[in-house]
Chain A
Amino acid sequence: MFYKIKKKIEPYFYLSPALILYGFFFVAPFIYALYVSFNDWNLMTGEMQWLGLENYRNLVNDELFWYSIRNTLLYVVGRVPFSVALGLVYAILIEKTRGAFRGFFRFVFFLPIVFSIAAASLSFQLLFAPRRGFINQFLSLFGIIGPNWLNYSNTALIAIIIVGIWQSFGYNVILYIAGLKNIDDSYYDAAEIDGATAWQKFRFITWPLLTPVTFFVFVMTMLFSFRVFDVVQIMTGGGPSNATNVISFYVWQEAFRFFNTGVASAAAALLFIVMMLLTLFVAKKMQERVHYQ
């Protein structure tokens, strides 16, 4: 009897350090934020006044909230497919490369992961500069007059998406390389004997066997994309005219710029629920297509 109980409890005992930290740093603040979302919290005096659903009502009536949702969705749609696809393509190309370049490319593509995002954002700001920026100077070689990327509403979000793709695809490359290494060579040998083309090998061996990695990469990139904040804050400050005001920025702005913690907490709670539902939906849909060896 004692042995049975011990066996049941033991795993939780081992998990407890992580669970305590998780509870302390995530669950408790989340529950508190949820509580704040039903209140008007005056940060200066510390007074809290119960408002019920008032903050949520204000939130759904705020045009800027919906605009930030729209921007976030555009950002996710623009960033995720490209960083996943580029990650896959580059991983395959690197794996096909022989010699010293292989290590070099792995190193180069991993750089964005270790690079400070603040420094990278400032560097990209210079790259996107209207007259002396590298991107517009490069475009001018082909007779194209590049826009003032960060100051036009219709190009600012594109610029932010480009930085996002740069930021995440290196990480995806590494994950895909790990995935590629896990595929047994015997599948390719058999396909070779059957006379399969390179495309057929990719289509019927590589792609299906990489679906677990693709699933993971897709979900992680999507979650990272929903949470984008630092690049926006540094490069555009949510502008011009809120063109890059994404939901995380909106939450921060309401809380720490406008001191509207109730609405900010309500927006954060909604963001959490939306992200959770979306992740569950994507996970369910993708699981149906995931193949394991």
Chain B
Amino acid sequence: MIKKNFLVIILLIALVLTLGVTSVQAEVVELEFWHVFSAEREQAVDEKIDIFNQEHENIEVSHQSVPGWYGGLLEQLQTYAVVGQLPDVTLMGLSMTNFMRTGFNTASLNSYIEEDNYDLGQLDEKMLSFTQHEDETYGFPYAVSTPLLFVNREHFDEAGIEFTREPETWEQVKEWAIELNNLDHTSGGIAFQMDFDVWQFQTMLESFGGEMADLEAQEVLFDEEPGQRVLQYWEELRFEEEAWPLMDGEQAAEEFLAGDLSMIMSTTGNLTTFERDASFDVDAGLLPAEDEYGNPRSTPGGGSGIFILAEEDERQQASWEFVKFMVSETAQPYVVEEMGYMTPNLAVSDPEGIMADFFAEYPLVELSYQHAEEGLSDWFNWPEDTTNRIESRMNDHLISFISGEKTAEEALEASRSDVEAILDW
């Protein structure tokens, strides 16, 4: 009898313990986070998520790297939205922030910010504005970039050109490209990475005093006089001076790293990669201060923001904790160090702050922040879900122009016509 009672007690204890463990496990909120980083960058994301998971007993975040960069990520989000299997948190390119809000109904962070007394002042105001609409904050900027002019200092020395990190005009850059192209062992003086998106076109257009479009008036503006001057500038480099060889963005980066191409306009995201991987003396400069008419340079903020897609309160609350962490002083240093991007976190971007050693080792990194300090412009967001289609069509026409199949006029006219057709303007 005693033996029987003893067994019953043991069973009861086991049951209570099992239920207890189950109830503790049930409290753990499992979140899924999607991003675009692979290889070493993914490893860096993984390490930071490990830290978060260790610090938060009740939240377990897993992550998935989606191939195809922001375009690929958007495609996957769209596909998973059909079956209602969206991740709780995702990154997305800053040219898609409007669509994240209107298409995916990303959660507003306002209530969480208020509840937590979260200090938005710890983030760069302009970068933060990329993920805000009217008075609502729909996400946080995560890794931000601007275009920079990367140069091979050895080519400059060889050509007898004195390089300055703050070129005065676009004409000056063109002259450099032409002179550098005369070095007989190089493949070209300069290259622009045109095939990824229209970011570099927008940069040049705004630097030449133009605008992409007036959404309220439903009017395309990129084909007006400043846009024509951008293509004229490229025409001179590509065809008249033959200083810009025909190659895609990836090839251009490879040629530059191999020491064959003298200059490349590329994202700040390549800063640390170029500095680490090049076997020559890499330098970088700001974009020219102004064009021939005195229009100041424009630097549209590229990169990504982090957004919450979770709908249930409990998951949203856990996602908010994760989002806060991802832009915190703990997580953001790797965005600068491992990824080469600019951080929105002011404590991390302070050259004399927690990353002082890194800034001392890579002084070029400060250049991108110089662009940011002068004022970033918004990466143009086309209405609703049209960004991919519009950028794709515009890119097709611009690349046709660069490969000599269309004149500047034809490329701009075809782009305008496509945009108007897509938007029904």
Q: Counting CB contacts under 8 A, is B46 at the interface?
A: no
A75 to B408, CA, bound (A): 29
**Helix, strand, loop or mixed for chain B's interface?**
helix
Q: Is the CB of A44 within 8 A of B81?
A: yes
A160–B254 Cα distance when bound, in Å, is 22
Flag if B247 contacts A259 (CB, 8 Å): no
Does B248 sit within 8 A of A, measured CB to CB? Answer: yes
Which B residue's beta carbon lies closest to that of A254?
B389
Whether A241 contacts B397 by the Cβ 8 Å rule is: yes
Q: B79 contacts A241, CB within 8 Å?
A: no
Main secondary structure of the interface of A (DSSP, over half): loop
- Give the shortest distance, in Å, between B404 (CB) and chain A (any CB): 9
Stretch binding the partner chain, chosen from A12-20, A24-32, A126-134: A126-134
- C-alpha spacing A121/B385, complex, angstroms: 31
Q: Is B104 touching A241 in the complex (CB atoms < 8 A)?
A: no
How many angstroms from the CA of A178 to the CA of B116 in the assembled complex?
73
User: Contact check: which of A43, A151, A256, A257 meets B248 at CB < 8 Å?
Assistant: A151
Choose one: A129, A151, A253; the contact of B403 (CB below 8 Å): A151
CB distance from B100 to the nearest CB of A (A): 11
Q: What sequence of 0s and 1s flags, for each residue 214-248 of chain B, a beta carbon within 8 Å of any chain A beta carbon? A: 00000000000000000000000000000001111
How far does the alpha carbon of A253 sit from the alpha carbon of B187 in the complex, in Å? Answer: 33
Residues of B within 8 A of A151 (CB): 246-248, 251, 403
> Once the chains bind, are B255 and A256 in contact (CB under 8 Å)?
no
By a CB distance below 8 angstroms, the chain B residues around A44 are 78, 81, 103-104
Complex Cα spacing A150 to B254, Å: 15
Q: Which residues of the partner chain A approach B396 to less than 8 Å between Cβ atoms?
A: 239, 241-242
* A43-B78, A153-B405 as given contacts; A241 in contact with B260, CB under 8 Å: no
Report yes or no: B251 in contact with A152, Cβ–Cβ below 8 A. Answer: no
Q: A148-B247, A152-B246, A241-B399 are in contact. Are A258 and B255 (CB under 8 A)?
A: no
Instruction: Indicate if A46 sits at the interface (CB-CB under 8 A).
Output: yes
User: Is A256 a contact of B251 with CB atoms below 8 Å?
Assistant: no
Q: What is the bound-complex CA distance between A233 and B314, given in angstroms?
A: 40
Residue of A nearest to B398 (CB): A241
Residue of B nearest to A237 (CB): B195
Q: Is B251 a contact of A257 with CB atoms below 8 Å?
A: no
For the complex, count residues of B whose C-beta is within 8 A of A: 29
In the complex, the chain B residue whose C-beta lies closest to that of A150 is B248
Q: Decide yes or no whether B2 CB sits under 8 A from chain A.
A: no
With contact pairs A131-B255, A150-B248 given, residues A256 and B78 touching in the complex (Cβ less than 8 Å): yes
A130 touching B195, Cβ below 8 Å: no
Residues of A within 8 A of B399 (CB): 239-241
Residues on A with beta carbons closer than 8 Å to the beta carbon of B245: 130, 148
Which A residues, 35 to 87, have Cβ-Cβ distances below 8 Å to chain B? 43-44, 46
How far, in angstroms, from A240 to B104 measured CA to CA in the complex?
Answer: 31
Is A131's CB under 8 angstroms from B260's CB? yes
- Given A44-B103, A257-B71, are A148 and B392 neighbors across the interface (CB < 8 Å)? no
Known: A130-B251, A240-B195. A259 touches B246 (CB 8 A): no
Residues of A within 8 A of B195 (CB): 239-240
When chains A and B are docked, how far (Å) is the Cα of A150 from the Cα of B195?
A: 12
Within 8 A of A (CB), among B399-416: 399-400, 403, 405
Residues of chain A in range 229-280 having any CB-CB distance to chain B below 8 Å:
239-242, 253, 256-259
Question: Measured between C-beta atoms, what is the minimum distance from A225 to chain B in Å?
Answer: 24
The 7 closest A-B pairs by CB, nearest first: A241-B400, A258-B389, A256-B75, A241-B396, A43-B82, A240-B399, A241-B399
Listed A/B pairs (19) with beta-carbon separation below 8 Å: A43-B81, A44-B104, A46-B82, A129-B254, A130-B247, A131-B187, A132-B258, A148-B251, A150-B248, A151-B247, A151-B403, A240-B195, A240-B399, A241-B397, A241-B403, A256-B75, A257-B389, A258-B385, A259-B385
